[in-house]
Structure 1
Amino acid sequence: MDKVKFTEKRFIIVFIFVTSLFMFWGIAHSMSDVLNKHFQNVLKVSKSQSGLIQLSVFGAYFVMSIPAGLFMKKYGYKMGVLLGLTLFALGTFLFVPAAQAASFSYFRLALFILGCGMATLETVAHPFAASLGDQRASDQRVNFAQSFNAVGAIIGPAIGSYFLFGSGTHAAGGDILDSVKSLYCSIGICIALVALAFAFVKIPALTNPHAATASADAVNVDTKPGKKLFQHRHFVWAVLAQLFNVAAQAGTWSYFINYGHEKMGFTDEKAANFMVLFMAMMAAGRFIGTYLMRFIAPNKLLAAFATGSIIACIIVAQAWGWFSYGALFSINFFFSIMFPTIFSLGLKNLGKHTQQASSFISMGVVGGAFFPMIMGTVANHDIAKAYYLPIICYFVIFLFAAKFYKVK
């Protein structure tokens, strides 16, 4: 069998743009975790109330993923990307009136619109990246693109910490909210410029990689064309696994700064700076995981990483100083490949159902809407003990990777 190419020369420019999208929503997601602690300080909300930030962002995925999939199916990948970028930019600009009103509710509305943009981009970008080349290399392409999501997740806390916890921002609440306004306005302008540039990019003609007439070697040929989408067991389990995966991610990220402050004795600024290294662990995991998939089946690597996450959560919950803090960092390393690998495994052999399936797997991200509030309720009493809860999530992911990923 010929060596499978990662992608083709004619797709390079488009693939670069699509990969950049992964980075942008990585920045926005990780920035919301800095906002979580910032609003606890400035707007005087509790840990469980600050979890409403994630409800606003991830709740948007529940609302927007299906409409985004329908829009993509009717108008194509390019228009789907432009819609996502437009909503993304609009949400960031809405931080201006929210800061003026110093209203937590208005901030949540802005985050919801921003989340609708991210939901649209995620729904479109995963099958878009998968379609840009031989389908036998789709797992590698999606994981590579997701690696830059991790790069964005490093950038987010770095600039968030500088703007929100830096020495120049420790003034009255209104002044600090002005820094939030400036930060998100800058991001909005950047996103608007990217949307303008992408509007002029010519998309090469794509052979539908999900068509039933595709090459027999392609991994996404629907072997059972008569089956309905929800009759594909591996897809249903992928939706479930993604729901629990993002639930664990959102909870773990939301209270990382709180853990550093309460269990390690760090200032908020120092804990936020450690979050940069925390996100770097995820970036390292993505690049290493993408390389390892050349030798290890994606489902086996996913099962191994889920097991590592379970062990790490147990250690974190013990609050054994630096040993537990190091285990907290390792969770993000193990988390690294989970989202894209669950996504790509769930889309296998779905044929004409692929775009609709992408919407439902993206909608599984709603798990991140409620889990931080549940963890926050425990964290109000003991932040360390709250890290027992994600173990449930990682066990579900292990089951999917070990058994229920199989296409039948």
Structure 2
Amino acid sequence: MLIKNASIQQPDGYLNKTPLFQFLLLSTVFALWSAAAALNDVLITQFKAIFHLSNFASALVQSAFYGAYFLVAIPAAMVVKKTSYKLAILLGLALYIFGCLMFFPASVAGTYTMFLAAIFCIAIGLSFLETSCNTYSAMIGESNRATLRLNISHTINAMGYILGLLLGKHLIFQEGVNIQQQMVTLSGAELEAFKAMVLQQTLEPYKWLVAVIATVAVLIAVTEYPSCKVAGAIKDKQPSLRQTLAYLAGNVRFFKGVGAQFAYVGMQVAVWSFTIRLALELDGNMVEHDAANYLLYSFIMYFLGKLLANYLFTRTSQENVLMGYSAIGFACLMYVALVPNFSAVWVAVGTSALFAPCWATIFASTLQSVDTRYTETVGGFVVMAIIGGAIVPAIQGFVADRVGMQNSFVVSAVCFALVFGYFLSEKKFKRTQTLVASAA
């Protein structure tokens, strides 16, 4: 190994201090998977035009992407449990590269199904990354700073959304060209040639991603990482999957956390999937290249929301911060759904700032609701909740096909209300625990 780790492993799996280089390198992986997610939001608009899809059918991009998380999260958790976080990360990066390379035959085949298969393969790799990296970021340092570390990693994750969207906007969308209007003017061989050219453009950002992913993989391979496992775990003394399931069956806090994560991911993915479509619907003269700016602004707001949340966490409890974010977010999404003018797009953009601390805080809170012996497997179960990103956008797309894109944002508003309920429940639980401890 070229880069050593000097931290001391504690019996509960945490470290006595966070190894800075290892933590920052680990956090760059968060940006890699968010870049892929941002590109999906561009592809939804592109594929809807090229393949003449309904809003529901175009949302299947997200269903393929996040459906893979649901299927692979537990196998990925088993890899972490039996081997190491580092090996699971390297395997995830290799699968990510393979999925990106699948865009080359997909662009030649020119079928929606083939592109969905490529996206599904990318997501298999990302499932390994999210299952391992989210838990690892929480574990790689002092236990009392787990939520802070995870929020820092997700601040870098927010930068990946911005970079991914910029790649999609400038390498996939054509400036000043409305694809749907352009296709109306073409027919026969000219139309087919235009479609082939547009699909070839989808390759460009993935070429860049492959180079970056390979570089990060090499750096991680030559860096020594701590195991961050409970003492005795390497000797196969951890609970089996069956024992873990039996333990979790009576853990209400765990199930509430998984439900909140499902609602949050579904809401975030749905709002971002349809922001470009919302802008195009409310301004008939806008083209895709320009409408993508509003998604870019959304990702910038997401990043700023992360910074603000990290500050607020030092002033009050995470439950208070998330309850405030969720209440304001619910009101904003209701505005987006019900106010019929372009200001709704700007409010949707601003709502992204309120998404910012949700994933990391829900993830860390759910991990803290279980004994550390179950951490690796429980991390996989929480990642499975990402299936919300496959289901909620499809539901919102289905609703949009019937009542209009703008009114469909009520679906996402309901999800924010559920997130509020989760953090209200967590606040009540911790208040009760404090009272019991003080009484003892």
TM-score normalised by the chain length of structure 1: 0.90
Asked whether the 8 Å contact 1:314–1:387 carries over to 2, the reply is: yes
Query: Over residues 259-281 of structure 1, what are the superposed CA-to-partner deviations in whole Å (9 max), with x where a residue is unaligned?
Result: 01111342211110221111100
2:202 equivalent among 180, 186, 191 = 180
d(CA) in 2 for partners of 1:374, 1:76? 37
1:301 equivalent among 308, 317, 321 = 321
Residues 1:372 and 2:372 aligned together: no
Residues 1:258 and 2:266 aligned together: no
Match of 1:332 in 2: 352
Q: Tell me, what secondary structure is at the counterpart of 1:167?
A: coil
Which residue identity does 1:253 align to in structure 2?
A: W
Asked whether the 8 Å contact 2:85–2:227 carries over to 1, the reply is: no
Q: Tell me, what secondary structure is at the counterpart of 2:315?
A: coil
Deviation at 1:299, TM superposition (A): 1.6
Q: Tell me, what secondary structure is at the counterpart of 2:19?
A: helix
Residue 354 to residue 210, structure 1, CA distance change in 2 (3 Å):
farther
1:107 equivalent among 115, 118, 131 = 115
1:289 equivalent among 298, 309, 332 = 309
Deviation at 1:206, TM superposition (A): 4.0
Match of 2:50 in 1: 42
Asked whether the 8 Å contact 1:11–1:204 carries over to 2, the reply is: no
1:11 equivalent among 9, 15, 19 = 19
Deviation at 1:320, TM superposition (A): 4.0
Moved more, 54-63 or 271-280: 271-280
Which residue identity does 2:222 align to in structure 1?
A: F
2:378 equivalent among 357, 377, 380 = 357
Query: Over residues 56-114 of structure 1, what are the superposed CA-to-partner deviations in whole Å (9 max), with x where a residue is unaligned?
Result: 00000110100000000111110010011111111110000000000110110111110
Deviation at 1:8, TM superposition (A): 7.0
Asked whether the 8 Å contact 2:254–2:369 carries over to 1, the reply is: no
Asked whether the 8 Å contact 1:135–1:209 carries over to 2, the reply is: no
Q: Tell me, what secondary structure is at the counterpart of 1:307?
A: helix
What are the within-5 Å matches in structure 2 for residues 208-223 of structure 1?
208=230
Query: Superposition RMSD on alpha carbons, in Å?
Result: 2.3
2:93 equivalent among 85, 94, 103 = 85
Residue 137 to residue 101, structure 1, CA distance change in 2 (3 Å):
same
Residue 349 to residue 159, structure 1, CA distance change in 2 (3 Å):
same
d(CA) in 2 for partners of 1:40, 1:291? 40
Which residue identity does 1:339 align to in structure 2?
A: W
Residue 103 to residue 207, structure 1, CA distance change in 2 (3 Å):
closer
Query: Over residues 352-382 of structure 1, what are the superposed CA-to-partner deviations in whole Å (9 max), with x where a residue is unaligned?
Result: 1111111000000001112112111222241
d(CA) in 1 for partners of 2:130, 2:405? 31
Query: Over residues 314-366 of structure 1, what are the superposed CA-to-partner deviations in whole Å (9 max), with x where a residue is unaligned?
Result: 11012343432221112211111111110011111522111111100000000
* Number of equivalences: 390
Asked whether the 8 Å contact 2:279–2:342 carries over to 1, the reply is: no
d(CA) in 2 for partners of 1:395, 1:368? 17
What are the within-5 Å matches in structure 2 for residues 43-58 of structure 1?
43-58=51-66
Asked whether the 8 Å contact 1:303–1:401 carries over to 2, the reply is: yes
Match of 1:196 in 2: 218
1:146 equivalent among 150, 154, 169 = 154
d(CA) in 1 for partners of 2:299, 2:63? 21
Query: Over residues 213-269 of structure 1, what are the superposed CA-to-partner deviations in whole Å (9 max), with x where a residue is unaligned?
Result: xxxxxxxxxxxx998123222111111111111111111111100001111342211
Residue 103 to residue 210, structure 1, CA distance change in 2 (3 Å):
farther
Residues 1:75 and 2:83 aligned together: yes
1:312 equivalent among 301, 326, 332 = 332
Q: Tell me, what secondary structure is at the counterpart of 1:172?
A: helix
Query: Over residues 137-189 of structure 1, what are the superposed CA-to-partner deviations in whole Å (9 max), with x where a residue is unaligned?
Result: 11111001001111111111111011111239878111111111232132123
Match of 1:387 in 2: 409
d(CA) in 2 for partners of 1:299, 1:121? 27
TM-score normalised by the chain length of structure 2: 0.84
d(CA) in 2 for partners of 1:230, 1:263? 47
Match of 1:321 in 2: 341
Match of 1:156 in 2: 164
Residue 11 to residue 207, structure 1, CA distance change in 2 (3 Å):
farther
Residue 326 to residue 245, structure 1, CA distance change in 2 (3 Å):
same
d(CA) in 2 for partners of 1:167, 1:10? 45
Question: Could you tell me the percent identity over the aligned residues?
Answer: 26
d(CA) in 2 for partners of 1:133, 1:280? 28
Which residue identity does 1:135 align to in structure 2?
A: S
Residues 1:21 and 2:55 aligned together: no
d(CA) in 2 for partners of 1:363, 1:22? 17
Query: Over residues 275-307 of structure 1, what are the superposed CA-to-partner deviations in whole Å (9 max), with x where a residue is unaligned?
Result: 111110000011111111111111221111111
Deviation at 1:210, TM superposition (A): 11
Match of 2:257 in 1: 238
Q: Tell me, what secondary structure is at the counterpart of 1:389?
A: helix
d(CA) in 2 for partners of 1:61, 1:394? 22
Match of 2:239 in 1: none
The runs of 5 or more residues in structure 1 that have no matched partner are: 1-6, 212-224
The structure with the largest alpha-carbon Rg is 2
Residues 1:228 and 2:247 aligned together: yes
Asked whether the 8 Å contact 2:253–2:366 carries over to 1, the reply is: yes
Which residue identity does 1:263 align to in structure 2?
A: L
Moved more, 193-202 or 60-69: 193-202
